[in-house]
């Protein structure tokens, strides 16, 4: 049994790569009816993407063995901290301009998380209290 669960707003159980790839799944990301994807590890860590193919944001929760965790929003290291908004089916999420990504960048982040690769240097983490 896999330690991962992959789901979206519309699909509660999506097969994981290689059976079904992240690009195939994220092709259906839209702000009206399928506005998030979440990849959860059995240890409680997850990566979540919300928004649309054109404008989305990615959150990352890292859990520790003692049950504590840290929660981050991923953004480009060289971007602006000006306010930005991402439309989702349940409303608007406020982020920073550097945290607004196209879906293909979210796909790459999900692939890295799934394979255990480190976050690419072009991204930074903004810790959030969630």
pLDDT tens profile 75-111: 999 999 999 999 999 999 999 999 999 999 999 999 9
Identify the CA nearest to 29 among candidates 15, 8, 4. Answer: 8
Q: How far apart are CA 123 and CA 76, in angstroms?
A: 4
Distances (CA, A) of 16 to 1, 43, 114, 123, 127: 12, 17, 9, 24, 28
Q: How far apart are CA 58 and CA 106, in angstroms?
A: 7
Listed by start position, the domains of the chain span 4-128
pLDDT tens profile 44-59: 999 999 999 999 999 9
Q: What is the pTM of this model?
A: 0.95
């Amino acid at each position: 049994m896999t330690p991962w669960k992959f789901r979206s707003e519309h699909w509660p159980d999506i097969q994981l790569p290689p059976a079904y790839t992240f690009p195939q799944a994220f092709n259906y990301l839209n702000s009206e009816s399928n506005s998030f994807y979440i990849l959860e590890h059995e240890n409680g860590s997850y990566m979540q993407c919300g928004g649309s193919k054109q404008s989305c944001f990615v959150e990352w929760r890292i859990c520790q063995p003692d049950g504590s965790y840290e929660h981050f929003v991923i953004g480009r290291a060289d971007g602006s901290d000006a306010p930005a908004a991402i439309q989702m089916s349940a409303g608007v999420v406020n982020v920073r301009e550097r945290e607004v990504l196209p879906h293909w960048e979210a796909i790459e982040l999900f692939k890295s998380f799934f394979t255990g690769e480190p976050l690419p240097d072009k991204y930074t983490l903004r810790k959030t209290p969630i």
